[in-house]
Structure 1
Amino acid sequence: MRFIDARSYTAERPWGALDITEIDGATVRLHWTDQPYVWHVNDGSEVFVVLDGAVDMHYRSGGAEYVERLVPGRVCYAETGDEHVAHPAPEARILVIERKGSI
């Protein structure tokens, strides 16, 4: 068994990650960041759970841009093809589950 205190995890760089495990081709990773990611389009499904801090999830749909505030316990599910970028407010620890090698 392994126990991780997500609230105390800090990576060496923004979006650095602690690989927790791989389950049937999906990775489970704990990320820390104090900087926005980059706009990208998912090439696979992704589950994004804020464990500590907050994240403003910017996404585009139907030609419009939206922002959803994610706080601890709020889950974001992004499907293949969803265009989005995460902005920590001001820093966050996030659990991400996605296909291994996905962007």
Structure 2
Amino acid sequence: MEFVRSKEFTGKVAWESKLIANMDGVTTKLHWTDKPYVWHINDGQEVFAVLGGCVEMFYKVNGQVRSQLLNTGDIFYASEGTEHVAHPRGEARVLVIECEGSV
């Protein structure tokens, strides 16, 4: 058993993470960042929940780039094959649930 205070979690580098759980190959990680990630496609599905801060999520639909602003409490679901990249606006803390070892 463990309690995690996400507001207190920080990293030394962008996208540093704390493993919360690995349940049969599905990981739940708390990430801290203040810089954009890179365009990527996960190995499977991904759930991305903003716990603190604001993140602009860019994603592609039929090759066209679109974006959605995610505030604290908002969730992005990336189905398998969804190309996307997260750009925080300042510091952000996010909970990411995905297959173990995914990009």
Q: TM-score, normalised by structure 2?
A: 0.96
User: CA RMSD for the aligned pairs?
Assistant: 0.8
CA distance, structure 1, for counterparts of residue 13 and residue 47 of structure 2: 22
Q: Kindly, what percent of the aligned residue pairs are identical?
A: 50
Unaligned runs of 5+ in 2: none
TM-score calculated relative to the size of structure 1: 0.96
Match of 1:29 in 2: 29
Segments of structure 1 that go 5 or more residues without pairing to the other structure are none
Match of 2:67 in 1: 67
Runs of 4+ in structure 1 off by over 3 angstroms are none
Report SS of the residue matched to 2:38: coil
**1:34-57 CA deviation, whole Å, 9 max, x = no partner?**
000001112210000000001000
Aligned residues: 103
**Structure-2 separation of matches of 1:37 and 1:97:** 16
Deviation string, structure 1 residues 27-78 (Cα, Å, up to 9, x no partner): 1100000000001112210000000001000011012111101111111110
* 8 A contact 2:43–2:99 mirrored in 1: no
